[in-house]
Amino acid sequence: MENFFKKVTKDVDLSFAILLSFCVYVFFSLNIEIFFSHNISFAILERFAVLGLVGLALTICIIAGEIDLSIGSNAALCAVIVVKLTDPLGAPFAMLIGLSVSTLIGAIQGFVIAFIRIRAIVITVGTLMLLRGVALLIAEEKTVMLTDFRVPDFITTKVLMYFSPASLTVIFIFICVGIFMRYTKYGREIYAIGGARKEALTAGIPLRRPMVIAFALSGFCAGFAGTVIGLKSGTAQGLGLQYLLLAGTVAAFVGGVSILGGKGGVLGAAIGALTVNFLNTGLVFYALQVHFVQLFTSVLLVIVIVFQTMSRVFDSRQSRKSLLATIDERKTTLLEKKRTVLGK
Amino acid sequence: MTTITQDNKSPFSSKFLQFYKDRTLLAILLSLFAVMFVYGIFFTDNYLTITNFKAIIRDAALYGIMAIGLTFVTLSGNFFLLSLKETASICGVTFAMGMATGFGSPDLVGNFLVSLLAALSVGVLSGVIQGYFVGMGGNPIVVTLGGAGILYGIGAWWSDNLVINFKRPHDAEWLGTGSFLGLPSITLAFILIAIAAELVLRHTNFGRKVYLVGANKAAGRATGHENFSMAIIVFTICSVCCAFVAVAFVAQMDSAQSNYFSAEFGSSGDMTILVIATVMVGGNSIMGGYGSTLRTSLGAIFIAMVDNMMVLQGFNSGPRIVGVGLMIVFSIIVFGLFAKGSRAQE
Task: Give the best-scoring range by mean pLDDT among A195-204, B28-37, B334-343.
Answer: A195-204
Q: Which residues pair with A144 in a beta bridge?
A: A236
B88 within some domain: yes
A266 within some domain: yes
- Are residues A307 and A275 part of one domain? no
**Nearest neighbour of A246 by CB, restricted to B149, B287, B322:** B149
Q: How far apart are CA A61 and CA A59, in angstroms?
A: 5
A7 within some domain: no
Whole-number pLDDT of residue B64: 92
Whole-number pLDDT of residue B204: 92
Q: How many domains does chain A have?
A: 2
| CATH code assigned at B58 | 1.10.3470
- Are residues A278 and A179 part of one domain? yes
Across the interface, whether the CB atoms of B286 and A119 are under 8 A apart is answered yes
Per DSSP bridges, beta strands B164-165 and A144-145 are unpaired
Determine the average pLDDT of the residues in A54-81. Answer: 92
Whole-number pLDDT of residue B129: 93
Residue-wise pLDDT for B202-217, tens only, equals 999 999 999 998 888 8
What's A70's DSSP letter?
Answer: T
Whole-number pLDDT of residue B10: 53
Determine the average pLDDT of the residues in B183-190. Answer: 89
- Are residues A220 and A320 part of one domain? no
Across the interface, whether the CB atoms of B149 and A298 are under 8 A apart is answered yes
CA angle A238–A243–A246, rounded 5-degree value:
140
Confidence of residue B345 (pLDDT cuts 50, 70, 90): very low
Determine the average pLDDT of the residues in A75-91. Answer: 90
String of b and e for B15-45 (b: at least 16 CB within 10 Å)? eeeeeeeeeeebeeeeeeeeeeeeebeeebe
pLDDT at A185 over 70: yes
Residue-wise pLDDT for A231-282, tens only, equals 888 888 888 788 888 889 999 988 888 888 788 888 889 999 999 999 888 8
Are the C-beta atoms of B269 and B105 separated by less than 8 Å? no
Confidence of residue B198 (pLDDT cuts 50, 70, 90): very high
pLDDT at A203 over 60: yes
Determine the average pLDDT of the residues in A314-340. Answer: 91
Whole-number pLDDT of residue A196: 85
User: How many Cα atoms sit within 13 Å of B86 on the Cβ side?
Assistant: 24
| ipTM of the modeled complex | 0.84
Q: Tell me the residue length of chain A.
A: 344
Q: Average pLDDT, whole number, for chain B?
A: 82
Across the interface, whether the CB atoms of A118 and B336 are under 8 A apart is answered yes
pLDDT at B81 over 60: yes
Whole-number pLDDT of residue B29: 66
Final residue in a domain of this structure, among A287, A302, A334: A287
Confidence of residue B47 (pLDDT cuts 50, 70, 90): confident
What's B102's DSSP letter?
Answer: G
Complete DSSP assignment for B320-343: HHHHHHHHHHHHHHHHHHHHTTST
A2 within some domain: no
Query: CA–CA distance from A110 to each of A113, A116, A201, B254, B270 (Å)?
Result: 5, 10, 16, 46, 24
At position B123, the amino acid (one-letter code) is G
Residue-wise pLDDT for A139-153, tens only, equals 888 888 888 778 887
Greater model confidence, A336 or B268: A336
Phi, psi at A250, each rounded to 5°: -60, -45
pLDDT at A12 over 90: no
- Are residues A260 and A148 part of one domain? yes
pLDDT at A100 over 90: yes
Greater model confidence, B34 or B128: B128
Q: How many domains does chain B have?
A: 1
- Are residues A259 and A137 part of one domain? yes
Across the interface, whether the CB atoms of B141 and A131 are under 8 A apart is answered no
Task: Determine the structural domain holding residue B233 and report its residue range.
Answer: 51-333
Listed by number, the residues of chain A in 300-329 with a beta carbon closer than 8 Å to a beta carbon of chain B are 301-302, 305-306, 309-310, 312-313
Instruction: Provide the shortest C-alpha distance from residue B149 to chain A (in Å).
Output: 5
pTM score of the predicted model: 0.86
Confidence of residue B263 (pLDDT cuts 50, 70, 90): low
Final residue in a domain of this structure, among A266, A287, A308: A287
Complete DSSP assignment for A198-242: HHHHHTT--SHHHHHHHHHHHHHHHHHHHHHHHHHHSEE-TT--T
- Tell whether A292 is within 8 A of chain B (Cβ): yes
Q: Average pLDDT, whole number, for chain A?
A: 86
Whole-number pLDDT of residue A111: 92
At position B203, the amino acid (one-letter code) is H
B9 within some domain: no
**Nearest neighbour of B318 by CB, restricted to A126, A133, A253:** A133
pLDDT at B295 over 50: yes
Residue-wise pLDDT for B222-259, tens only, equals 888 888 899 999 999 999 999 999 999 888 888 888 88
- Are residues A298 and A204 part of one domain? no
Whole-number pLDDT of residue B334: 78
**Nearest neighbour of A246 by CB, restricted to B145, B320, B326:** B145
- Are residues A91 and A175 part of one domain? yes
Task: Determine the structural domain holding residue A301 and report its residue range.
Answer: 291-344
State the burial class of residue B7 (Cβ atoms within 10 Å of its Cβ: 0-12, 13-18, 19+): exposed
Residue A178's contacts (CB-CB under 8 Å, 6 or more residues apart) are: A265, A266, A267
User: How many Cα atoms sit within 13 Å of B71 on the Cβ side?
Assistant: 31
| Residues in chain B within 8 Å Cβ distance of A196 | none
Greater model confidence, A155 or A320: A320
Per DSSP bridges, beta strands A144-145 and A235-236 are antiparallel
Final residue in a domain of this structure, among A247, A262, A287: A287
Instruction: Provide the shortest C-alpha distance from residue A165 to chain B (in Å).
Output: 32
- Are residues A279 and A299 part of one domain? no
B33 within some domain: no
pLDDT at A105 over 90: yes
Whole-number pLDDT of residue B243: 94
Across the interface, whether the CB atoms of B133 and A306 are under 8 A apart is answered yes
- Are residues A311 and A270 part of one domain? no
Whole-number pLDDT of residue B71: 93
SS3 of residue B316 by DSSP:
coil
Determine the average pLDDT of the residues in B187-192. Answer: 91
Range name among A74-78, A106-110, B161-165 with the lowest pLDDT average: B161-165
pLDDT at B45 over 80: no
A127 within some domain: yes
Whole-number pLDDT of residue B100: 85
Does a cis peptide bond (omega within 30 degrees of 0) precede residue B140? no
pLDDT at A292 over 80: yes
| Residues in chain A within 8 Å Cβ distance of B80 | 125
Residue-wise pLDDT for B140-160, tens only, equals 888 999 999 899 999 988 888
Phi-psi bin for A263: left (phi > 0), alpha (psi -120 to 50), beta? beta
Best of B261, B264, B287, B322 to mutate (most A CBs within 10 Å, chain A): B322
Q: How far apart are CA A59 and CA B289, in angstroms?
A: 30
- Are residues A95 and A154 part of one domain? yes
Range name among A34-38, A46-50, B113-117 with the lowest pLDDT average: A34-38
- Are residues A89 and A48 part of one domain? yes
Closest by CA position to A268, among listed A36, A20, A74: A20
Q: How far apart are CA A6 and CA B168, in angstroms?
A: 65
B85 within some domain: yes
B4 within some domain: no
The alpha-carbon radius of gyration of chain B (Å, integer) is: 22
Q: How far apart are CA B188 and CA B173, in angstroms?
A: 15
CA angle A83–A84–A87, rounded 5-degree value:
85
Phi, psi at A145, each rounded to 5°: -130, 150
- B180: enclosing H helix or E strand: strand B179-180
B25 within some domain: no
% pLDDT > 70, chain B: 87
- Are residues A170 and A310 part of one domain? no
Determine the average pLDDT of the residues in A34-63. Answer: 88
Confidence of residue B1 (pLDDT cuts 50, 70, 90): very low
Residue-wise pLDDT for B313-331, tens only, equals 888 888 888 888 888 888 8
Are the C-beta atoms of A71 and A244 separated by less than 8 Å? yes
Whole-number pLDDT of residue B343: 44
Closest by CA position to A305, among listed B273, B151, B130: B130
| Residues in chain A within 8 Å Cβ distance of B340 | 116-117
Q: How far apart are CA B131 and CA B124, in angstroms?
A: 10
| Residues in chain A within 8 Å Cβ distance of B137 | 309, 312-313
Residue B59's contacts (CB-CB under 8 Å, 6 or more residues apart) are: B266, B304, B307, B308
| Residues in chain A within 8 Å Cβ distance of B145 | 245-246, 249, 298, 301
Confidence of residue B63 (pLDDT cuts 50, 70, 90): confident
% pLDDT > 90, chain B: 23
Greater model confidence, A275 or B35: A275
Greater model confidence, A150 or A56: A56
